[in-house]
Chains A and B, each alone.
Chain A
Amino acid sequence: MKRRDFLRNTTLASGAFLIPSFLKPLEAMAMGDISGYKNLVVIQLSGGNDGLNTIVPFGNDIYYQKRKTIAIQQPDIIKLNDMQGLNPNLAALKEIYDQGWMSVINSVGYPNPDRSHFRSMDIWQTGSDANQFLTTGWIGRYLDSNCATCNNPYTAIEVDDTLSLALKGAKMKGIAVEDPGKLYQATRQPFFKQLVHGHDAANLNEDNLGYLYKTMIETYSSADYIQQTSKTYITTATYPQTPFANQLKSVAKFINSGLQTRVYYVSLSGFDTHTGQQNQQGRQLKIYADAVEAFVKDLKQANKLDDTLVMTFSEFGRRVEQNASNGTDHGTANNIMLFGGKLKKAGIYNDAPNLAQLDNGDLKYEIDFRSVYATLLDKWLNVNNSQVLNKNFAGLDFV
C-alpha cells in the first residue's frame, strides 16, 4: 500500500483525525537496525574554495611560479607527504589526519565545467551534466529511492533555516532544522495544532492541497521526533564559538542521540576570494578546521565516528594562476575532503593535481564528482547509484 493511501484509509476507517498516533507505527518500523546505522554529513563550502591553497602542492614548482604573492610558504605548510600539505589554518586537522580519519581526493570535477557560482553549485547539488537542468537534488532522489527509512523527512536534515535543492526530491524532501527546540515550539502553537488535527480526509488527497497537508503533518510529527530524541543527549564536548561550529554541534547531537537520520547537510560561506585571498580564505579555513576537529572528536568519544562519513566539497576550485589583486578567479576541478572512522584509504587518495597539463589555465578533472556520490550511495547509504544519478557511475575505493 502506498503511504498516502495508508494515511487516507486509516483516517477514513477510524474516523480519527489525530495524526501522530497513526504515524507512530511507521516511525517504529524504521527503528529496525540501530546498530551500524550509518550517517553521511555533507559540508558545502560556498563561493568556490581555492583547493590549491587548502591542500597545498608545495612539491611542485609551478605552484610557486603561478602564485607569486599568495602561495603558502614551505615553512608554514603542515606536510602530509612530499608533495602536498595543509594550509596552516587547517592545523587542527593534523591530528585527525594522523589518526587515519581524513582522506583527500584530488582533482574532482566534471566535463565542460561551468564557472558561474550558482550554475556550478546547481550542478553539484543536482548531480546533473553541465548541459542538463534537473529540478531535484541528489540527496532528494536518494529519499525518493524507497530506502528503508526514506519515508520520513528527517531521513535527511539540513542544519539551516531553509532547505537546499540538494535535499529536494520529486516525492520526498528533507527537512531544514536550525534549532529543534524552536521548530518544535512553532509546530505546537495552538493554531498550528488546530490545523494539524482539524483536517478532513479529503485534505489528504493526491492533489496539491493533499501535498500541503501531508507536508504540514509530517513537519508536526518530525519536529516532535527530532526534539524528543535529540534532547536526550547532552553535549559535553567544547566547540569553537562560531555559527558553523554550532551547526556541526547540532549534527553531532543528532547523531549521538541516535536520531534515525541518514544524511546531514551544512554549509559555510565566504570562499569567493578574488581579492586579498590569504587573509579571507585563512579565516574561513580556520573556522572550518577548528569546527571539524571538535566535531570528529565529539563523535569519537560517543563511539559514532565509525558510523559517520563526512564529505566536504565546493562548487569549483580556482584558477591555478593568481590574479592581480592577490586573489584567484573561478576555476574548475577541486579537492574533496573526507572524514570518518572507517576510511578504507586514509590520507591522500590519488595523485596531486597536475599543474603542468592545464586546460586554458585550469586544472583538468580526474574524477567525476558523481563517482564520489556513487561510492557514498552504493557503499554507505546502500542504494544503487544509478537509481539516484540516472546513470551508473563507477565507484571509488575510499570506504
Chain B
Amino acid sequence: MIRPHECNNCKEHSTIFDDKIKKKLNPFSSGLSYLYMTANMKNIRHLYARAGFSLRFEDLDTLGKLSVKEAVAAVFRASENSDPTAIIAGNINYKDFLLANEGTKKMFLQEQRQQEKALNIDWVNKMSSTDAQLREKMTLFWHNHFACRTQNAWYAQQLNNIQRSNALGNFKTLLMEVSKTPAMLQFLNNQQNQKNHPNENFARELMELFTIGRGNYTEQDVKESARAFTGWSFKKDGSFAARPLQHDVGQKTFLGKTGNFAGEDIIDMLLAKKETALFICKKLYRYLVNDVPNNAHIGTMADIFYNGNYEIKPLLQYIFTADWFYTDNNMGNLIKAPVEFIVGLNRQFYITYQNPDVVLQFERALGQVLFNPPNVAGWPGGKNWIDSSSLMYRLKIPSTVLNGGVIEFSGKVDPEDEAFIATTRKQKEAVTTKIQAQADWAKFMNSIPRGTGKAAIAQTLLTAPLSTGITDIINKTTDIKALAIELVSTPEYQLC
C-alpha cells in the first residue's frame, strides 16, 4: 500500500501527482497548503470520523492547527448542550383520534406514518447539521443499544430525547430513565408484567442486551427479577407509573442476594457487577474503534467506566486521547452504518433534499431505518451492512444525489407497515424517484483551503489509505467537483 507521506521512497511516488499542482505549492510556505495530510491532520480526521460523522474541509481550517488534545476538548465543547427534538407536538391516542376527527382506522394509520417519517427525517437533519456531533453520534449508539420500536412517534421521540440528554452523562441515569419510558415498557411487554402473572421479557433483555450480557445470569435470575418489575407501567400522558396493586412485594433471590427488591434495586445490582461495564465497553469499542475487540484496551475502558460510577464522558475522553486510538490499524477500518454514510455525505456536501422521502428510501435500501431496528438486539453492524445490492446502492447514491439523478429502488417494506398496506391496497411497484437534492457546491469549493493538493482532498474524504486504484482516479481527474464525486463513490468511502 502506498502511503506517500510516510513512505521511504516519497520522491518516486510523488511523481504520480500532477506536476502543475506540485509546482504551485510549497507545503512549507503556509500552514494550510498541503499536498498530503500531515500526521496530525490525519489524527484529527480520525477523531471526527469516530466522534462525529466526518471531517469537512471547512473544519480543516481551524482544526488542522490544533493538537489532538485540543481537538478532543473542542469536540466535547461543541456537544455540551443537548437540544431535544420537538417535531412531534403531542400524543395521538387512537380512540381520541377517532372521536376528534370522526376519523377512520386508515386515517389514523396514515397519521401515524406521517409522524414516524417526520421524526426520522428530523433526526437525520439534526445529525446532518448540528455542531454537537459527538452527542448525536452517541445518541445513535444508545438508540441501537436500547433498540426499541413503537408505533407511537411521541413515545419514540421521548425515548430519543432521553438518549440524547444522557448521551454523554451517566449510564445508570440513562438506563433507569429508558426503563421507565412507555416505548420500552410497551415494547418489552412490561405492561403485562403483573403480580402472579409475571412477564419476563423486559427482565431478560435488561440482562442479556442492556447490562451484563449472556452467561452472567441464570434463568432463575430472570424469573425473580421479572417479579421486581411487576407494576411498572405508564400513564396516558406518557409519564411513568408504579402500580402498587400489581407489584409483587414478596422476597426475591437475585444474583445470590435475597430481599424484597424493586426494579430500581435490580438495576443497581446489575450495575454493581463489573460485567456490565465490560459489556458496554466492548460494544462501544466496536462502535468507535475497531470491530475486532482488543481485550486489553477494553479492560482499561471498563476500569475507567466502572470506577467512575458509569460516567460516560470520562470514558469517551479516555478513548479519544488514548495513543492506541490513533494507531494505523484502528483508522479507516470501520464500515459506516447507512445513517452514518448518508449523514456524512450530507455534511460534507451541504445537501438539502426537496423531497425528504428520498432519505427514507435510502435508509430502507441500505438496511437501517431509524426507530425501526430489526429486533431488540439492534442492528448487527459491520460487515452485515454490506451485500451485493446494498454496496451497489452505496456506490451509486453519491453520484445521483450530487448530480441530481433518479433512483429506481424502493427497499423492503417494514413488516409493521403491513397493516397500512393492507388497508390502502398498495402493491409493490417499481419506484422511480427524482432525487431533487442540492449540494452546495460553491460552499464546498470555497471551503477547500487554497492550494490543497488533489491527494489531500482525497485524504480528507477517504479515511482508508490511498491505494493505487484511487491514485489512478486522482491522476486522471482534473476537475475537483468530478474528483470529489468519484472519491465518494468508492468502496473506500464506505469506511470511516
Contacts and interface: CB of A to CB of B under 8 A. Distances in A.
Given A118-B149, A175-B388, A243-B427, A269 B469 contact: no
A200 B469 CA distance: 7
A238 interface: no
Contact of B409 (A119, A162, A268): A162
A182 B414 CA distance: 25
Nearest to A287: B427
A271 B422 contact: yes
A209 B418 contact: no
Contacts of A353: none
Contacts of B374: 118, 122, 165
A242 interface: yes
A48 interface: yes
Contacts of B489: 191
Interface size range of chain B in the complex: 35 or more
Contacts of A153: 387-388
Contact of A118 (B389, B414, B419): B414
Interface stretch (A25-33, A210-218, A361-369): A210-218
A249 interface: no
B429 A135 contact: no
Given A199-B467, A212-B391, A325-B105, A283 B367 contact: no
B411 A162 contact: yes
Interface in B134-173: 149
Nearest to B200: A131
B423 A275 contact: yes
A207 B383 CA distance: 10
B9 interface: no
B276 to A, nearest CB: 19
Contacts of A176: 387-389
B87 interface: no
B415 A118 contact: yes
B391 A119 contact: no
Range, interface on chain A: 35 or more
B242 interface: no
Contacts of B387: 153, 163, 167-168, 173-176, 215
- With most chain B CB atoms within 10 A of its CB, the pick from A173, A194, A212, A222 is A212
Contact of A175 (B384, B389, B409, B494): B389
B495 A219 contact: no
Contacts of B425: 270, 280, 283
B421 interface: yes
Nearest to B1: A202
Most chain B beta-carbon neighbours within 10 Å: one of A133, A167, A173: A133
A188 interface: no
A209 B388 contact: no
A208 interface: yes
Contacts of B382: 208
Interface of B: 1, 105, 149, 204, 291, 332-335, 364-365, 367, 372, 374-377, 380, 382-384, 386-392, 395-396, 408-416, 418-419, 421-423, 425-430, 464, 467-469, 472-473, 486, 489-492, 494-495
7 contacts: A153-B387, A161-B365, A163-B387, A165-B374, A202-B467, A207-B333, A215-B388
Given A182-B408, A212-B491, A275-B105, 14 more contacts: A117-B418, A131-B204, A161-B410, A162-B409, A167-B387, A198-B473, A199-B469, A208-B383, A211-B383, A212-B494, A218-B388, A269-B421, A269-B428, A270-B425
